[in-house]
Copies of this chain bind each other. A is one copy, B any other.
Amino acid sequence: MYSLTALQKIVTDRLEEEARQIGNRHPANLYRPVQYTLDMGGKRLRPVMVLMACDLFGGSIDAAMNAALAIELFHNFTLLHDDIMDKATVRRNRPTVHKQFNENIAILSGDAMSNLAYLYLLKSQSPALHGIISLFAETAVEICEGQQLDMDYENRPDVSISDYLKMIRQKTAVLIACSLKTGALIGNARAGDAAHLYDFGINLGMAFQLQDDLLDVYADQDNFGKKTGGDILANKKTFLLLKSFELASPGQKEELLSWIAAASFNPDDKIAAVKKIYTDLQVGQVAGEAIDHFYGKALAELDLVTIETARKEELLSLARNIMKRKN
């Protein structure tokens, strides 16, 4: 079996090569932005999951490679279009595609990536290919729904925790689940095992996104890699903010709303004030419990996969790694 580190290296090298080849295609204004996007790096979590899930059932990682590339292309397409919609100017310390090129090129290169993803997927050799492509297309539509919910929530005053969990499920968790199930199907897993791996992915994805919310406020800034408090400054309706609205006293609620409405403020003051309310209401602990809940469910699903426990070690190690946990 391949280790997490080995798979990360294999995926990174292959993506570099594919990006180079795609970047040489014509018209350059369509394909160079695709290369630029793929070259942005990142943890390559989703393609690694495709290969690892295939490997888990004894499948060849070569057979799963095109599906892994397809999912990474699709993921990068969603980041590209999300950045246009969010008017984000920087991603991973580089200008976003619509800043580096222009908005029309960003829209169209994203469209090309989305369709290129299907072309990669179609190159996969698997008796389950019809089901794999269907899962992919369903997941793609769900991700669009999740992104729309995220945009809708920005303008809605009444977002509940349950609304929020639905949104992050569609925006984040389904693609992680799809990656794992796709790998499992290419590895000829039994239907039941593939389904458990999907649910492992959903719950891991939920835990991962909730942790991202938590780290944005409470991370050790040096390890986090970016400035904390970004979500607070952007008034993002995270688990922490929504839970605070649920638990806040009238006075705390008023204070939160006034910071959200404030047109001009010292950023550090806003972060400190909102963070103090979070801490007073202990929403960090509530988030931690929710993370434990989803992480626990993820592990329970993995437990139900009918292969020997020793083979699951790499997937467990990946889960611990992204959740920064020891167990």
Residues of chain A at the chain B interface (Cβ within 8 Å): 26-27, 29-30, 81, 84-85, 104-105, 107-108, 110-112, 114-116, 118-119, 122, 129-130, 133-134, 137-138, 140-141, 144-145, 147-149, 151-152
Contacts and interface: CB of A to CB of B under 8 A. Distances in A.
A122 B111 contact: no
Contacts of A104: 84-85, 151
Given A27-B149, A29-B151, A144-B30, A119 B107 contact: no
Contacts of A137: 115, 118-119, 122
A186 to B, nearest CB: 15
A140 B30 CA distance: 13
A105 B27 CA distance: 27
A141 B112 contact: yes
Contacts of A149: 27
Copies per complex of this chain: 2
A115 B133 contact: no
Contact of A81 (B105, B108, B152): B108
A145 B28 CA distance: 9
A115 B141 contact: yes
A4 B112 CA distance: 33
B112 A122 contact: no
Nearest to A137: B118
B119 A141 contact: yes
Contacts of A134: 119, 122
A147 B118 CA distance: 19
B84 A107 contact: yes
Contact of A138 (B108, B119, B145): B119
Contacts of A27: 145, 148-149, 152
A138 B120 CA distance: 11
A29 B154 CA distance: 13
A125 to B, nearest CB: 11
A108 B144 CA distance: 6
A84 B130 CA distance: 33
Contacts of A115: 114, 137, 140-141, 144
A151 B122 CA distance: 29
Given A29-B151, A129-B130, A130-B122, A81 B114 contact: no
B114 A85 contact: no
The 8 A-B residue pairs with the shortest CB-CB distance, nearest first, are A115-B140, A30-B148, A112-B144, A118-B137, A85-B104, A27-B148, A119-B137, A115-B141
